Amino acid sequence: MPEPTTPVTFPSTFLWGASTSAYQIEGAVREGSRTPSIWDTFSHTPGKTFDGDHGDIAVDHYRRYPEDVALMAELGLDAYRFSISWSRVQPTGRGPAAQVGLDFYRRLVDELLSHGIKPTVTLYHWDLPQDLEDAGGWPERDTAYRFADYAQLVGEALGDRVEHWMTLNEPWCSAFLGYASGVHAPGRTDPEASLKAAHHLNLAHGLGTSALRSVMPARNSIAVSLNSSAVRPVSQDPADLAAARKIDDLANGVFHGPMLHGAYPETLLKATEKITDWSCIVEGDLVLINQPLDSLGLNYYTPALVSAADPESSSPRADGHGESAYSPWPGTDDVMFHQTPGEQTQMGWTIDPTGLHELLMRYTREAPGLPLYVTENGAAYDDKPDPDGRVHDPERIAYLHGHLSAVRRAIADGADVRGYYQWSLMDNFEWSYGYEKRFGIVYVDYATLERTPKSSARWYAEVARTGKLPAVEGV
C-alpha cells in the first residue's frame, strides 16, 4: 500500500464509472409491454425478501433517468454500466422485440451520450423472463438459444451507439444462488439443476457473443462480468488445500475455464460426478462458449476462507451468500467456510483489498493480453442523513480508497486494468436483502425518492476528475 502522504495516480485513459442493474432501480414493472421476470415472482412470494420488499417502484429510474444521468455528469463519471430488462424488451423471452421497451433504452443511451458518458450495457443481470423459467429456466438448454436471440435484438437496436457490452453479470449467482441454495430467484434447490444452469449460462455467453458480433460494428467491445472469488485455505494442510481447490473450481473455474480456456476443470467434473454426469455438455459446446473476448469484467467484494470440514462442527455455513438449509456449493459437503478475520461491512463481508489485487494478477497470468475492468466493487453501510440532510460515509471512502489502491498496485505490477465501476451509483433494491442494505454513493430517500450524493460520491468525483487517489485519514 502507498504511504498515506503520497497520492496514487492512475493512467489518464483510465475509465471511471458506476454500475446498476435494471430490476434494482427501474421500477415501472408494468409499463409498456414489460412482463414479470423471475425476480418479480420471487420478491412477491412471502418470506423470500427482507420485509417483503420488491422492485415494483425501486428508485423509479424508468421515469427519473434524466435526473440520474444529470447527477452522473455532475459527479464527472466517464461511464455508466446498466443492464437491460429482458422482459421489457422481449416480454415472453421469444419472438420480436417490443419497440416500446427498446425505446426506453434508446432514450437512456442518448441521454448518456449527450452528457459525454459512455454507456456500458449488461444484457443479463439475473432477471430471466418468467415465461422462460416456466419452460424450465437456465437448467434447460433452449434458454441459452433464447438468450442469443435476445442479444441480437438488443445489439441491432443499440450497437450503433453503445461500444461496451457485457453478456452476463455474475453467472455464479444465477446458477447457484438461484437453483442450488434458493436464496435468489427463482428459488429452486436442486444441485444438479444448478450445474446444468451453469453450463447453459456459459453457452448463452458464447452464443450471445457471436450474436452480438454478427450485428454490431467491429469496433464494439464484448466482455462478461464474473464475480470471481479469491479462495484461500485456512492452512497448507493437504486436506485444506483440496477444499480450497473444490471451491475455486465452483466459484471460478466453472465459468472462466470454458470461457477463457475452452474446458471445464477436470477436478470439478470429478468432484460433482455423483450429482450429474454432465451430459448437458453437447459436442461442440466448448467451442461455442470459448469465444474471443475483448476484455474481462471482475466483480469483487470479499475473499473466501475454507478448510476441510470438521465432523464435530455444526456451525452455519459462513460463505456470505445468505441463509439457506441448502448449499450453493454442489459436491462440497466436505468443505467448511470460515469468517475471514478483519473489519466487516454491513453485509458481514470482510474488507480485504488484497483479494482484488490477487484476482487481477491471476487473470493477468491466465489470460495474458486481455484487458481487465473492475465492473463492481463497493460496500453496504447503514447510511443515514444528518440533521442538515447530508450523508457522511467515511467508512465507504476508506473502503474505496483501499480497493482503488489495490487496483493501482495491480497496474504497477503489470495488470492491464482499464477502468473501475463502483457499485452502486445509488441505493436500490438489494435482492433478497430488500431495501435494508445501502451500497450507493448516492443516498435515496425511499419515501420521496429524493437523491442526495453522499460524501463518498463527492470524494469519488474528485478521484475521477483528477485521476489521483488522495490520502485518507486513518488509511
pLDDT tens, residue order, the chain (475 aa): 444 445 689 999 999 999 999 999 999 999 999 999 999 999 999 999 999 999 999 999 999 999 999 999 999 999 999 999 999 999 999 999 999 999 999 999 999 999 999 999 999 999 999 999 999 999 999 999 999 999 999 999 999 999 999 999 999 999 999 999 999 999 999 999 999 999 999 999 999 999 999 999 999 999 999 999 999 999 999 999 999 999 999 999 999 999 999 999 999 999 999 999 999 999 999 999 999 999 999 999 999 999 999 877 767 788 999 999 999 999 999 999 999 999 999 999 999 999 999 999 999 999 999 999 999 999 999 999 999 999 999 999 999 999 999 999 999 999 999 999 999 999 999 999 999 999 999 999 999 999 999 999 999 999 999 999 987 765 4
The per-residue pLDDT for 310 is 85
- Catalytic residue list contains 170: yes
Alpha carbons 216 and 197: distance in angstroms, whole number: 28
Helix axes 61-74, 99-114, angle to 10 degrees: 20
Nearest to 362 by CA among 401, 405, 417: 417
The per-residue pLDDT for 6 is 57
Question: Which residue in 26, 111, 358, 376 is the catalytic one?
Answer: 376
The per-residue pLDDT for 280 is 98
Alpha carbons 170 and 216: distance in angstroms, whole number: 24
DSSP classification of residue 48: S
- Catalytic residue list contains 376: yes
Sequence-separated (6 or more) residues with CB below 8 Å from residue 190: 139, 179, 180
Alpha carbons 376 and 227: distance in angstroms, whole number: 8
Sequence-separated (6 or more) residues with CB below 8 Å from residue 121: 81, 82, 83, 84, 105, 154, 158, 162, 164, 165, 166
Alpha carbons 217 and 401: distance in angstroms, whole number: 37
Radius of gyration of the chain (CA): 21
Strand partners, 18: 80, 422
317 phi/psi in degrees, rounded to 5: -70, 115
Helix (H) or strand (E) holding 152: helix 142-158
The per-residue pLDDT for 161 is 97
Question: Which residue in 170, 192, 358, 430 is the catalytic one?
Answer: 170
Nearest to 358 by CA among 460, 252, 265, 447: 252
Beta-sheet strands, E only, within 241-389: 296-299, 304-308, 335-338, 372-376
381 phi/psi in degrees, rounded to 5: -135, 160
